[in-house]
Structure 1
Amino acid sequence: MKDFINKLYRNHSLIYKGLLFVCTTFVIVYLFPKSGKFKYNFEKGKPWQSENLYAPFDFAIKKSEDEISAEKKAVTENATLYFDLDNGIKSAVDEAYKQEFQKTFADSVPNRRLNHLYNAGQAIINDIYDYGVLDENYNFSNDRTIAILDGRVKKQDGLFSDLTKQDHLTTIINSDLSKENLQDYKTVFTSLFFDLIQPNLKFDKVFTDKALQESLDKIIYTRGSIERGTLIVAKGEVVQGDKFQILKSLELEYQSQVWNQTSFYWVLFAYTLLVSLALLMLLLFLRKYRPDVFDNNTKVTFIFFNIFLMVFLTTLVINYNSKYIYVVPICIMPLIFKAFFDARLGLFAHVITVLLLGFIVPNSYEYMFLQIIAGIVTILTVSELYKRANLFISVGQITLIYIVAYFAFFVIHEGTIETLEWTVFGLFILNGLATLFVQPLIYAYEKLFGLVSDVSLLELSDTNSKLLKELSNVAPGTFHHSLNVANLAEASANEIGANAMLVRVGALYHDIGKMKNPTYFIENQSTAINPHDELSAKESARIIINHVIDGIEIARKNNLPDRVIDFIRTHHGTSLVYYFYVQHKKDFDETDTADFTYPGPKPFSKETAILMMSDSIEAASKSLKEPTTTKIDAFVENIIDKQIEEGQFLNANITFKEIQSIKKVLKLKLANIYHLRIEYPE
């Protein structure tokens, strides 16, 4: 059991990567659509690019969305309106009319005339309440059919225009009195009925909506059917009209009817295989070409998180509306990876992500082509991301590439620019604006994952920063030495294509440990007194060696990134403090070199190897007497060749050719520092 636990502990890094790989795979598959994907791509009005397509099974032709919408609209507009009738209102109005009529008309009116007036008024009431009086003025069309319900029992049918509106009472009264030649009594009857007439119809919205829904449910969503084996579309035939609708019907049927529970699991399994293959290729790439990234679980997590984030954002947009697919700034990812790692890793991860998205986006070939081309342009154009102008220029170029590529695809498909969708160009511009968000995103990632970008390195290179200010005050000689080393190292890094900004920052901070005992280092000694004269060679060596350990402590206390601390740890590698070693050897025959050896580790990158060379050359150059070109050349060759013989660069991915280029730069820089002139013969 103990051996098993020890084995797990030794392999915990690989186990973590395995769990991360599995979790990322399942989360991405979870985001993907789970139905089968129709294997043909087609667009309305464009030629059919695949082979002749025959119906694989019987299926119904589904109506288009426009047809269904039109039918629903017609049903809605022609639906019957239901009104509830209050029977008691009419009887109450009749009774009230009898009483008010006697009060209104004086006894002086002859009986015959009085009966005529009474009957005319009763006729007006019957006319008003023929269908009923509405309780309010509803905004319905006059030709809408209506049904009057008496206790949920349909009593009468008609049109909405048959119902009496309260603002139409005067019109009805005037019309009926004109027929009876009683216009002289218009004012009297209008005043009388104004107080008598009460509404007896109320719109029943609940019942009307229920009846409407029943009518909508009866709509048939198909028209005709296609039998198995029927030719649907031939190669090269333009997809439009019924052909397009038949293909859409087949696609929908394929995704809904064909997929049973067993098929669902097979689709899930197939998606898992493809996604895991893509992510496995990324892990293999990291292991073979970026072992330093592969060994760092935080960096691997960071890469997988960004891939998941792009898939997540894209699926969100597709679920909302797939026509906005190009708003998602996919090119942010290669920008971020280039800022934290390198261009090759950024492009590889970008391609893997685009391949994953090809499963779920419409017109996948067009989408993948545009995104891969845009990713390549991103990698090729964006340099020195910390310079704002460079980012704006690169984003403009990326947006232009999107627009040009989309325009070309559109012309190929349509053969004309008359129907060009200009709104898509607006989406590309929004994409470019979203890509500018990369700067704050990089800052957030630095805080979340503890990574370092060129933007942070630029801030650290400021000699007015708190730590470098302290170094210049406490150990001015060391500060001046660090500046010279930074200049030498930066020039060397530019010569071989290494990260010049990183090596410059590393050079500025590599000797901050000397602040603890500044006077024990010769560059900070302003008097003839040397404190090492009072110490043994072993004690002196320990103080010199400890400036590496002290530097690491100071760096961690000031929250310097690990990439910068690496330069402090490695700038002396495992070399000897040779001067004190020789001094000790004069007094003791047997000397243990461990007491005079730096703890290491050896440089493990081009940048750390450059710093070791530059630091040794700059420090030793102070001992040159009457420097000449010949002396400087021999001096540089001897120091670097000795480091090679000691195996200091065995762990660094630097070649002999690159070392020769660095020697050339260092010789030239030293010659410029000492202002050498041509040596004339005497």
Structure 2
Amino acid sequence: MAKTLDTFYRSQSLIYKYFLYFLTIGAIVFFFPKGGQFKYEFQKGKPWQYENLYAPFDFSIRKTEAELQAERQQFQRDQVPYYRFDTEAAREVYRAYEELFPEYFPGTGLSARQIGVLRQQGRAILDSLYLRGIWDGSDPPLSREVYLVRNNQARRMRFDSIYRMDALRNTIRDLTESVGIPADQAEFRELLLRIAEPNVSLDQELTGRELENQLSGISLTRGNVDEGALIVAKGEVVEGESLKKLESLRAEYASEVWSANNYYFILSGYTILVALVLIMLLLFLKRYRPDVFRNNVKVTFIFFNILVMVFLTTFVVKYNEALVFVVPLCILPLILKTFFDARLGLFVHVLTVLILGFVVPNSFEYIFLQIIAGIVTILTVSELYKRANLFISVGQITLIYILGYFAFNIIQGGSLDNVVWVNFGFFLLNGMITLFVQPLIYIYEKMFGMVSDVSLLELSDTNSRLLKELSNKAPGTFNHSLQVANLAEAAANEIGANAMLVRVGALYHDIGKMNNPTYFTENQTTNNNPHDELAPEKSARIIIKHVIEGIEMARKQNIPDRIIDFIRTHHGTTLVYYFYKKARERDGEDPDEKDFRYPGPVPFSKETAILMMADSVEAASKSLVNPTYSIIDEFVDKIIATQMQAGQFLNAEITFKEIETVKKVLKQRLTNIYHLRVEYPE
């Protein structure tokens, strides 16, 4: 059981990679469109580049979205709206007429017969008004004809045959004259105007329901293509009827292939292809980037960025495939080059583009343009912390997109007639979005604890809080750190290591000396050495402790782990030899080395190895008296040979040739530092 747990513990990093690998495959396949892949690529207005295509099965020609929208709009224009006739409102008007008539005509001046005739004439006018109805005027007229719903029966009639409330005064005047009522009977007309109420209004619910019924009945297809019928001939321009047939065949093919019977076959095909792409990535990391492969955070970071790009592209394609070039895919190599290196960035970019080839339309054109743009990104982008460099690189990337797309259209169409000019705007928008890589890099630094050149540039500022405190409390150590930074940076440039990272690591590697600055010789301004009063073991503990205290200070100040690595490894597991020798002379025998040895670990990268060499050489060079070229040469060789014999560089992946180059740079720099000036005569 214990052996099994031990094996599991030692294999947990590999188990995590397996889990991440399969999780990424599942997520990518999930994002893929749920349909079979149509094996032909075509574009509107471009010649058909394959052999004559015949219908493999019967299928219907689907209407385009524009055609369906035109039919919907035509239905909306031709729709006859429904208006509701309120019979209860008409009864209320008649009731009001009978109640108010005696108030207007009390019986004086007119005979009973005349009043009776007048009452009958008023009823006749109301009958005329409410036979057609009075429109309330609340909604604008929707058409010339309407359905008037009365007593649950709809009758089609002209809209202008319904009386309007806003023209009722003129209508009543015309009706009173038509029945023979004298023009001087103004009181009678006022009575009719007072009691008249609208009783016809638009029935929006019924009108909308009827429109929905009509729209739902629109056919999505028009005509059929029989099996074996010619769809498009070789060299024929894909447009008009042939374009509609091809689009219908593609949609039908996807829906027929992606069925319940073969769902798992297609799914397994997608899974195998994506798995092959991702296994290539893992093999590349294991073979050529073992430091990245061993770091699960970095592997997760790479897979996460691939997933983000796949998700964005598939989302845009599902929304509107015409916007596919708006997705800033070149952000991927930009970010990976920033945190890793150019070769890894390009390799991951190419693999991601291959995956997206299953998703995008015109996959060959898309893959070609994206790979070319990715290569340009890798070749042009450098020193992102310089703002102008990013703008220049993005401009070059956008230009490559435009030129590549332009060339494809000339090749396929033979002219400029079929160029979709709006795509150039999409390329410009792509470039503008790519500029947001700077804040994205900052977010990734916080999420994954990684360090970019921009952050390194900020950390290299000697006016930062921590370095300012170092210069105040331990000025000798601060000057030593500056000298080491210059030496290490020069050496890193010679062997192709990360010079900016080495410089920043050198500036911070001795910050732990701030707690006890006078115990370190570079900060002692008098001949009074506090170590003279201490036992060698205690002095060694104070010297060794500056590494641990430096790590703690850096963590409190949120210094990135990659910089803390330099603090942790700049002495490796070497001995504090001076005090070890002093203890041996005191006791007459070898003391316990554990009391005099740094805790380590040893350097595990080229950069940390360079810092160890530069730090030791610069510190020891202070003891040189009247140095010469031969003395400096022998001095540097001796120090670095001692470190190599102690096995300090075994994990650093630095070659003998690179160590010799570092030694050469250190010798040259020390020679320049100690070179005597020519004495000028007074």
- Same-fold status (TM-score > 0.5): yes
Tell me the distance in 1 between the aligned counterparts of 2:96 and 2:551: 105
2:443: which partner in 1? 444
1:492 corresponding residue in structure 2: 491
Q: Which has the larger displacement, 537-546 or 448-457?
A: 537-546
1:133 aligned partner:
134
Q: For 1:4, give the aligned amino acid.
A: T
Are the counterparts in 2 of residues 492 and 665 from structure 1 also a CA contact under 8 Å?
yes
* Paired position in structure 2 for 1:41: 41
CA contact (8 A) 1:124 1:172 kept: no
SS at match of 1:262: coil
Whole-angstrom distance in 2 between the partners of 1:293 and 1:500 = 19
Equivalent pair of 1:84/1:149 in contact (CA under 8 Å): yes
Q: Name the counterpart of 1:566.
A: 565
Deviation at 1:496, TM superposition (A): 1.9
SS of 1:202's equivalent in the other structure is strand
Structure 1 residues 79 and 513: alpha-carbon distance in aligned structure 2, compared to 1, 3 A threshold: closer
User: Structure 1's 433 and 67: CA in aligned 2 closer, same or farther, altered over 3 A?
Assistant: closer
1:629 aligned partner: 629
Q: Give a deviation string over 1:247-296, Cα, whole Å, max 9, x none.
A: 11112222234432233333332222222322222222222222222212
Is the 1:493–1:610 contact (alpha carbons within 8 Å) kept by the matching residues of 2?
yes
Provide the residue aligned with 1:275 in structure 2: 274
Tell whether the 8 Å contact from 2:511 to 2:550 is kept in structure 1 after alignment.
Answer: yes
Cα distance in 2, alignment partners of residues 200 and 545 from structure 1: 99
Percent of aligned positions with the same letter in both sequences? 58
Q: Deviations over 1:538-559 (max 9, x none)?
A: 5554544444344334433443
SS at the partner of 2:135? coil
What is the aligned partner in structure 1 of residue 12 from structure 2? 12
The alpha-carbon deviation at position 495 of structure 1 amounts to 1.8
Task: Assess if the C-alpha contact under 8 Å between 1:328 and 1:431 holds in 2.
Answer: yes
Query: What's the CA shift string for 1:451-470, capped at 9, x where partnerless?
Result: 22222222222223333233
Residue aligning to 1:453:
452
Cα distance, 1:432 vs. partner?
A: 2.5
**Superposed displacement of residue 569, structure 1:** 2.7
Shift, 1:487, TM fit:
0.6
Look up the match of 1:338: 337
> Counterpart in 2 of 1:67?
67
Could you list the per-position Cα deviations for residues 347-374 of structure 1 after superposition, in whole angstroms to 9, with x for gaps in the alignment?
Answer: 2222222222222222323332232222
Separation in 2, partners of 1:71, 1:360: 31
Matches of 2:235 and 2:182 in 1, distance apart?
79
In the TM superposition, 1:330-369 aligns within 5 A as 330-369=329-368
* Residues 177 and 183, structure 2, Cα contact 8 Å, conserved in 1: no
Pairwise CA distance, 1:224: 1.4
Where does residue 245 of structure 1 map in the other structure? Answer: 244
Which stretch shows the higher mean deviation, 400-409 or 577-586? 577-586
CA contact (8 A) 2:409 2:418 kept: no
Amino acid at match of 2:39: K
Distance 1:428 1:190, change over 3 A: farther
- After superposition, where does 1:234-313 map in structure 2 within 5 Å? 234-313=233-312
The one-letter code matched in structure 2 to 1:487 is N
Letter in 1 for 2:220: Y
Q: What's the CA shift for 1:489? A: 0.7
What whole-Å deviation, never above 9, does each CA across 1:324-351 have from its counterpart, x for those lacking one? 3333322222222222222222222222
Once the two structures are overlaid, the 10-residue window that deviates more, 94-103 or 294-303, is 94-103
Q: Alpha-carbon deviations, 1:404-453, whole Å to 9, x = none?
A: 33333333344444564444333333332322222222222222222222
Whether contact under 8 Å (2:80, 2:143) holds in the other structure is no
Deviating more after overlay: 624-633 vs 89-98: 89-98
Deviations 1:156-175, CA, capped at 9 Å, x for gaps: 32222322222344554566
Distance 1:80 1:660, change over 3 A: same
Q: How does 1:160-559 map to 2 (within 5 A)?
A: 160-170=159-169, 172-173=171-172, 184=183, 190-417=189-416, 420-535=419-534, 540-559=539-558
For residues 422 and 553 of structure 1, the distance between their equivalents in structure 2, rounded to whole angstroms, comes to 58
Looking at structure 2, the residues matched to 418 and 117 of structure 1 have their Cα atoms a distance apart, in angstroms, of: 79
**Does the C-alpha gap of structure 1 residues 416 and 109 become closer, same or farther in structure 2, counting only changes over 3 Å?**
farther
Do 1:487 and 1:504's aligned partners in 2 also have CA atoms closer than 8 Å? yes
TM-score normalized by the length of structure 2: 0.89
CA-CA distance at 1:240 after TM superposition = 0.9
Residue 525 of structure 2 aligns with an amino acid whose one-letter code is: S
Instruction: Kindly state the Cα deviation for residue 3 of structure 1 after the two structures are TM-superposed.
Output: 2.6
Q: What is the SS of the residue equivalent to 2:618?
A: helix
Q: Give the 3 Å change call, closer, same or farther, for CA 105–169 of structure 1 in structure 2.
A: farther
Once the two structures are overlaid, the 10-residue window that deviates more, 184-193 or 621-630, is 184-193
**Unmatched tracts of structure 1, length 5 or more:** none
Aligned CA distance change for structure 1 residues 163 and 232 (closer, same or farther; 3 Å):
same
Answer yes or no: is the 8 Å Cα contact 1:490–1:503 preserved in 2: yes
Greater CA drift, 175-184 or 638-647: 175-184
CA 1:523–1:412: 2 relative to 1, 3 Å: same
Confirm or deny: 8 A CA contact 2:577 2:596 kept in the other structure.
yes
Worse-matched range after superposition: 266-275 or 219-228? 266-275
Change (3 A) 1:181 1:408: farther
Distance 1:582 1:217, change over 3 A: closer
Distance in structure 2 (CA, Å) of the matches to 1:355 and 1:553 = 45
Which amino acid in the other structure matches residue 131 of structure 1?
A: R
**Displacement after TM superposition at 1:678 (Å):** 9.3
Structure 1-normalised TM-score? Answer: 0.89
Q: Quick one: structure 1 residues 521 and 48, their matched pair in 2 at CA, closer, same or farther if it must change by over 3 Å?
A: same
Q: Distance in 2 between matches of 1:105 and 1:253?
A: 82
Deviates more, 1:667-676 or 1:635-644: 635-644
Distance 2:235 2:179 in 1: 78
In structure 2, the CA distance between the partners of 1:577 and 1:138, relative to structure 1 (3 Å rule), is: closer
* 2:54 counterpart of 1:54: yes
Contact 2:46/2:418, CA 8 A, preserved across alignment: no
Task: Give the secondary-structure state (helix, strand or coil) at the position aligned to 2:261.
Answer: helix
Q: Note if contact 2:484-2:611 (Cα within 8 Å) is conserved in structure 1.
A: yes
> Which digits, 9 at most, give the CA deviation of each residue in 1:582-611, with x for residues without a partner?
555556355665555444333221111211
Retained in 2: the 8 A contact 1:142–1:161?
no
Q: Which amino acid aligns with 1:293?
A: V
CA–CA separation in structure 2 for the residues paired with 1:521 and 1:87:
107
Query: Is contact 1:629-1:676 (8 Å) kept?
Result: no
Check 1:514–1:68 CA distance in 2 against 1; reply closer, same or farther (3 A cut).
Answer: closer
- The farther-off stretch of 637-646 and 238-247 is 637-646
Give, in angstroms, the shift of residue 232 of structure 1: 0.9
**How far, CA to CA, are the matches of 1:88 and 1:478 in structure 2?**
101
Aligned to 1:675: 675
C-alpha displacement at 1:244, in angstroms? 1.0
Maintained 8 Å contact 2:258/2:266: no
Contact kept, 8 Å, 1:399 with 1:432, in 2: the verdict is yes
Aligned length: 677
Distance (Å, rounded) in 2 between the aligned partners of 1:557 and 1:217: 66
Does the CA-based 8 Å contact 1:141-1:160 persist in structure 2? no
More displaced stretch, 47-56 vs 578-587: 578-587
- 1:153/1:593 Cα in 2 relative to 1: closer, same or farther (>3 Å)? same
CA distance 1:116–1:560, shift in 2 (3 Å): closer
Give 1:223's aligned amino acid. Answer: R
CA distance in 2, matches of 1:311, 1:111: 93
Q: What's the offset of the Cα at 1:492?
A: 1.1
Indicate the SS of the match to 1:321. helix
Q: Deviations over 1:24-81 (max 9, x none)?
A: 2222222222222323222222212233222121111122223222222222222232
- The CA deviation at 1:243 is 0.8
1:628 partner letter = T
- Measure the CA separation in 2 of the matches of 1:511 and 1:172: 102
Unaligned runs of 5+ in 2: none
By how many angstroms is 1:537 displaced?
A: 5.0
Q: Residue 608 and residue 644 in structure 1: after superposition, are their counterparts in 2 closer, same or farther (change >3 A)?
A: same
Q: Secondary structure at the match of 1:148?
A: strand
Which stretch of the first structure deviates more once superposed, 639-648 or 278-287?
Answer: 639-648
